[in-house]
Structure 1
């Protein structure tokens, strides 16, 4: 097997252009998805069954159908309705970039909402009872207690969700976007070197994933630094039980 390094060197700048588009898709969809997931999670964690019904249906649909189908429904399906083509939304829905952002946002919001909902329900009841004892309002309790604690708990799982979103972003190439995978497919169509180009694309995905994993680990240590706090030696000498 002859490995053609020259084709990788020649077309590597085009793959780098795809990296920026991939990062844009992951960043914007992750940010918007998180903003949408928080109220969905709070509704899912509510004791009101009617309030839980709407987010349950939303999460059930987007977790139960393939992301590729969701992309096609938004990109190809929206154009089938004349009312949409004549609306103010059409300049957005006719662009593959924004259709990909919308599909990725709605998809990751469903998964993230379930992760955050589980984190909210994992918060020790004593902390919530302490907030009630201090007379905190519901909104203040959510802002100061529930959400900070939930984010600390959910962070490792949410990091995994963004890694999955990074890999799923390759589906954007199916609607003509030149992300890393789309750029690789275009180069392969010209050079007929699938092994070299896909290997280079895979390395780029690995590097991005490594940076994301490292960033989330640092963020997790910062948000959960209270869990790694060590009791001073002098206090431990007074009462060894305080080390536990």
Structure 2
């Protein structure tokens, strides 16, 4: 009997997995995937220019980015989420602005916290990859007469992306697992759905085991995607077979 058959039989024989509770799990799955995907996308778009600034030799350019990454990497994501979620209401006049209908929903403060956190980690990942660019590549680009901006776009960034891919894959998995804390600000994500089922049926083992299986499947899917990307983008680094 394979694990898929066992899982379906377990669900059918378990009284707590009704269409209603499965609907809660589905809503939690959608919320989790939306939160993780959007935060990673926004964090990536924010991290690329920040990594370039962080790599600058000028302290007045790199230092503010360093302070930002140091703060967000040096404090727990849960604390950051609490500060953003509960701290918004302390800004004078925020409730009278157009931002209030957005910020009063738990999803958007959580999205902001997750985006700023993953952007800090991704910035340092890309900064390290940029710094590791071969001096020979840079000298070759200069020999072709490339400007600094063109060299960054055509040589340094593509090479850095390839080197950063394994580390960034780990960051994606980290954000998926870290998204479990979103339920503390009333978001019904996967963990929040498990809490609801636990509170209703008092079956913590079944409720959280099912969610753990979902996270495990998502993690395997992410690993598979990044392994395929690594095979394609890093194929030139493998030794030729004779």
TM-score by length of 1: 0.90
- Give the alignment's TM-score, normalised by structure 2: 0.90
Q: Residues 13 and 87 (structure 1 numbering): CA distance in 2 closer, same or farther, change over 3 Å?
A: closer
For the pair 1:6 / 2:31, whether they are aligned, the reply is no
Residue 128 in 1 paired to residue 138 in 2? yes
Alignment match of 2:86 (pick from 71, 76, 87): 76
Cα pair 1:18 1:183 within 8 Å, conserved:
yes
What is the deviation of 1:229?
A: 6.5
Which residue in 2 is equivalent to 1:236? none
Aligned residue for 2:240, secondary structure, equals: coil
Superposed counterparts of 1:84-95, under 5 Å: 84-95=94-105
Following superposition, the deviation at residue 166 of structure 1 comes to 0.3
The match for 1:116 is: 126
Q: Does 1:225 align with 2:235?
A: yes
**Structure 1 unaligned spans of 5+:** 234-244
Which residue is equivalent to 1:202? 212
Q: Tell me what 1:189 maps to.
A: 199
Query: Which digits, 9 at most, give the CA deviation of each residue in 1:154-182, with x for residues without a partner?
Result: 10100100101001101110111111001
Report the CA distance between 1:139 and its aligned residue: 1.4
Whole-Å separation in 2 of the counterparts to 1:178 and 1:148? 38
* Equivalences, count: 230
How far apart are residue 84 of structure 1 and its match? 2.4
Q: In the aligned structure 1, how far is the partner of 2:51 from the partner of 2:18?
A: 46
RMSD of Structure 2 on Structure 1 (CA): 1.6
- Divergent runs of 4+, >4 A: none
Please, which of 107, 118, 134 is the counterpart of residue 97 of structure 1?
107
Q: Unpaired segments of 5 or more residues in structure 2?
A: 1-9
Q: For 2:55 and 2:63, how far apart are their aligned partners in 1?
A: 11
Say whether 1:165 aligns with 2:175. yes
